[in-house]
Amino acid sequence: MLIHAYTHTGVCAVPVTIHQTSGVQYPVFVLTVVVHTQLTTKSVLCSLICKINSALDMWFTALTLLCSISLTMRIAQINCSGISKFTRSRLHSYVDEKQIDILCLQETWLKDDKFKFKRWSPNINNAADGYGGVAIITHPSVKAVKLDKLKHNDLEAVWSKIQVGKQTAVIGSVYIRPGDTAKFQILRDKLNEIDRSTPVIITGDFNGKSKLWQTDYKPPRNKNDKPYQMGKLLEQIILDFSLDIHNTGTHTHISRCDGSSSAIDLFLTRGLTYGKRWSVDQLVVLKSDHMPTLLDITTEEEGQIKEKWNLKNVSWSLFGHTLSRDLDNLNNSEDYQSADTERKCELTQETIILCPENTIAKKQISRHSKAFITDKLKTLQKEFWRAKKAFTKRNAPHNQRALDKAREEYCNEYLKEKDIFWQEVCRNTEHKDLWNTVNKINNNCKTKSVQPLYNSDGTHEFDDGRIAERLKSTHH
């Protein structure tokens, strides 16, 4: 999904193009949001675009049905201001305490590449002057390979390809020194070398300030201020490459000079279909004046039934027409006309989120073949298989008793869970959808209706709705 923006007098238009991702064919259309207000600063425009992008991402990432295993990956970003013996000892304790999977470091101040961190795999790029330097250090359980082709001698950045669930993503640890605005063009060139369909995770210390990731930031009057300029350059990269900002405005850096605080450490992503949660760890004690930031990437909870958007029979023309109509109605409403720019962004966001609820159907999915299968039932099934294997290997009385006990426990639990699921289906399913659900449970019927039901007076009932009502009243 790519979002670009352009402005002219009093108008802000936001085209949105949706591409094919993770094997799911999405439509290609253009959504234009027009805000009748004087957008005199780019910060207001960037805030609007990011809010719309966030609104789309809230429901659009739910379109893919890739999540089938329970997973939590935690990525930590730390500007460590040099790796000393004390810092290394604290990092050892920190990754164990917080269960870190990937450690992205900036300002490592390492002199050579001979760096060992437990049994983890380091990917290091040292600075020529011995100051600065970056690293990506991955836990042995994380599948990762170095991407040396993305390295650049004039950019302190290191890149790796990692596996997140069933997706592969490119992760980068970046450090841009204060006032070094020329490095953003090199960063842009490196991002252009990454395929647009590839999920990306970028984290690091960018030394740029903006209201997009620091809500209390006040732009200076002097537009030549270096942190302000670096923030503007980073804003443009975020817009051009459709990156999501996960910072919530919390400060990540406390200056040792004047005690002022700011948010200059960022987590940016694109294309990840899993849930993401960003946080700042303000309690850890390191020698650095930066606080660690964490990004938790989570998938579906194991054994839990989820609702997903059903893309098989979606009328995208209806979706586009409905969204255009809702946005036009919103634009002409009194509440929208009298609202300030921030409130208009919120109303636009709410409208985009509600549109698919009215135009795209949902369906329930489960990681198991049948929706009522639970983790407990899977465990009992494995015990039954083990007992059956032991009995097959040796036909002894104690193996026979163990097999009978395991079979009884499994069958009782299976019938119990199936009955609970069926009762819930009967309570919540409409008549027209009931038989589709029955077919899915039985997994052996291709028709969308059932044979006529025999009545006590000798007649037959043909109407599916009345048949469903009789079955629900009889078996409820």
Task: Provide the pairing of β-strand 72-79 with 11-13.
Answer: unpaired
Terminal Cα-to-Cα distance of the chain (whole angstroms): 45
The Cα–Cα gap between 124 and 138 comes to 11
| Mean pLDDT (whole number) for 101-120 | 87
Is pLDDT of 231 > 90?
yes
The Cα–Cα gap between 420 and 429 comes to 14
Per-residue pLDDT band at 167 (split at 50, 70, 90) = confident
CA nearest 233: which of 178, 185, 177, 176?
Answer: 185
Which of 105 and 42 is assigned the larger pLDDT?
Answer: 105
For 375-396, the pLDDT digits (tens) are: 788 888 888 888 888 888 888 8
> Phi then psi for 314, rounded to 5 degrees?
-90, 135
Per-residue pLDDT band at 3 (split at 50, 70, 90) = very low
| Mean pLDDT (whole number) for 2-29 | 38
Q: Can you give the length of the chain in residues? A: 476
Average pLDDT over the chain, rounded to an integer: 79
In the chain, the percentage of residues whose pLDDT exceeds 90 is 32
For 47-72, the pLDDT digits (tens) are: 655 655 555 555 444 443 333 334 57
CA nearest 168: which of 150, 195, 134?
Answer: 195
- For the record, the structure tokens of 449 come out as 């209706």
Is pLDDT of 15 > 70?
no
The Cα–Cα gap between 57 and 68 comes to 20
The Cα–Cα gap between 205 and 214 comes to 14
- Chain-centroid distance of CA 241 in Å reads 17
Q: How would DSSP label each residue in 218-280?
A: ---S-TT-HHHHHHHHHHHHHHHTTPEE---S---EE-TTT--EE--EEEEEES--SEEEEEE
Is pLDDT of 156 > 90?
yes
**Which residue do the tokens 């869970």 mark?**
417
pLDDT recorded at residue 27:
44
Evaluate whether 413 touches 372 at the Cβ level (below 8 Å).
no
| Mean pLDDT (whole number) for 1-12 | 36
DSSP 435: H
Is pLDDT of 171 > 80?
yes
- Chain-centroid distance of CA 215 in Å reads 23
Per-residue pLDDT band at 18 (split at 50, 70, 90) = very low
Residue 39: Cβ within 10 Å count: 19
pTM recorded for the entire structure: 0.57
pLDDT recorded at residue 102:
95
CA nearest 121: which of 113, 109, 132?
Answer: 113
Q: List residues bridging with 176 in a β-sheet.
A: none
pLDDT recorded at residue 283:
73
Is pLDDT of 347 > 50?
yes
Task: Provide the pairing of β-strand 306-309 with 167-175.
Answer: unpaired
Exposed / middle / buried, residue 344 (Cβ in 10 Å: 0-12, 13-18, 19+): buried
Is pLDDT of 94 > 80?
yes
- For the record, the structure tokens of 100 come out as 């870190």
The Cα–Cα gap between 245 and 54 comes to 9
Domains of the chain: 2-60+309-365 (no CATH), 71-298 (3.60.10.10), 375-475 (no CATH)
pLDDT recorded at residue 436:
61
The Cα–Cα gap between 456 and 351 comes to 52
Is pLDDT of 455 > 70?
yes
3-state SS, residue 308: strand
Evaluate whether 233 touches 181 at the Cβ level (below 8 Å).
yes
Give the torsion sign (CA, 27, 273, 68, 427): negative
Type of residue numbered 211: K
